[in-house]
Amino acid sequence: MTGGIPARGHVISLAKPDSSLVTALLAAVAVLLLLFLLLRHVVRRRGGWRPFRRAVAQEIALTRRAFGEPLRAFRRHRRGVRALSRHLCDPRSGLLVRRLLDGAGAALAEVPGAFAYGLRTEPGWAAVQIAARRLPDPPAPWEVADGIGPQSWCLSLDDEESLPDAAPRAGARARPLPVVVGMADGLCVHLDLAAGPRMITVEGDTATRSRLLQALAAQLDRPGSGASVTVADGVHPHYRGEPLDSVLRRLEDTPATTTQEEAVTATTTVVVCASPTREQARRLTALAATGTVLCLADGPAAGHSWALRVDGRGRVGAPELDLSADSAPLGRAVAAAVRSDRRRARRAPQRQRPLETAVESRPAPERHVPEPAGRSEPSELSELSELVVPPTPPAPARTVAGADLLSEPATSRTRRAEASSTGGE
């Protein structure tokens, strides 16, 4: 019987482990064992598993924050540009800022040596910064500002009737010259350049401070600012301005205002220069003491001045002024405001054109010379209650300095050296 006997030649073989596979498994086990012992040693040095888990979670959070910071910085920059553009493009915002500064100055009239020099605003709220040895209790409608600083008053802007009176402070040398320097905690930070020594220097990173200086000069050159801007040579590589010594000689030969009323209503001359020498700084300080000249200098300057220090990221600060803001979004916002002023100026002649009926016979119209493109309508940016513009002979085309240097630097090579403001004073 051969049915239950297996045939010869058929052998059942069992698989033998490969030597290379066994070696890899042993090496993996050894490595895991070493990693476990090393981890156990590190955990014991950290104080146990619980502190170790907290440290690991903190490192993971810091890594995630570091990789997400560029995106958050970009979003913060875009929000700052939108907020500053809305503020600067609104013609009423400048009037409101000057009214708040004048109102705070009038409230501080009885406090010796106290004056308002800064303002922080957001929609429906404002806080004014005050320089005083001992800040008095704020009169109505002002309130004590919580979380802003010990030398600040705040005010709600929801009700227009609660706004302070716009009467300037008695004995004031000149009107305020507020400019926006940046954003801080969602607030627009303003600085009154006419409140201090009238010598303002922008120091720090070379490229960033040049952009900040151009943005400040462009704001002062806007319609209704009450300033006449003159850019000296060396401020911008594409702008050949007048030498600073020539500007100083012309200003020194100009007679100063004699009465107090003339000093308050006179247009402030703003000189924008680059790194003045010690002698030039002394002459600028003497002119600034008259109250009708203000100097913006690119770089340090000798003498008593307000120094705005800005880093490469656009962070501007002045510890003595309790100032810290992000000025990076300011350049694009000011450029948008300048474009808005030009569009408003182009629409102004159309709105002011008189209506004529076809039935009534009229004499031949006189030849009318259109206004320069940079001129703005007085009803929007003038602080005067009544403004009568007498007929004037045709004026030459206006030359702009700060606004053109900021928005279109390439087109300013053929412009004249002196730039006059278009403020409707």
Cα distance between residue 71 and residue 90, in whole Å: 29
Helix (H) or strand (E) holding 330: helix 330-351
- pLDDT under 70: residue ranges of the chain: 1-18, 159-162, 165-174, 256-266, 350-425
The pLDDT value recorded for residue 412 is 36
User: What are the residues whose beta carbons fall under 8 Å from the beta carbon of 371, sequence distance 6 or more?
Assistant: 348, 349
Query: Do 151 and 321 contact (CB within 8 A), yes or no?
Result: no
Query: Do 130 and 104 contact (CB within 8 A), yes or no?
Result: yes
Cα distance between residue 291 and residue 264, in whole Å: 9
The pLDDT value recorded for residue 157 is 84
Q: What is the pLDDT of residues 136-183, one digit of tens each?
A: 888 888 888 777 777 899 988 876 666 776 665 555 556 889 999 999
> Within its chain, how far is the Cα of 49 from the centroid?
49
The pLDDT value recorded for residue 365 is 46
The pLDDT value recorded for residue 239 is 81
Query: Do 412 and 404 contact (CB within 8 A), yes or no?
Result: yes
Q: What is the pLDDT of residues 74-112, one digit of tens each?
A: 999 999 999 999 999 998 898 899 999 998 888 888 888
Q: Is 46 exposed, middle or buried (0-12, 13-18, 19+ CB in 10 A)?
A: middle
* Residue environment code for 79-111, b if the CB has 16+ CB neighbours within 10 A, otherwise e: ebbebbbebbbebebbbbbbbbbbbbbbbbeee
The pLDDT value recorded for residue 373 is 44
CA nearest neighbour of 110 among 126, 132, 128? 132
Cα distance between residue 180 and residue 365, in whole Å: 45
Cα distance between residue 80 and residue 327, in whole Å: 9
φ/ψ of residue 323, rounded to 5: -115, 125
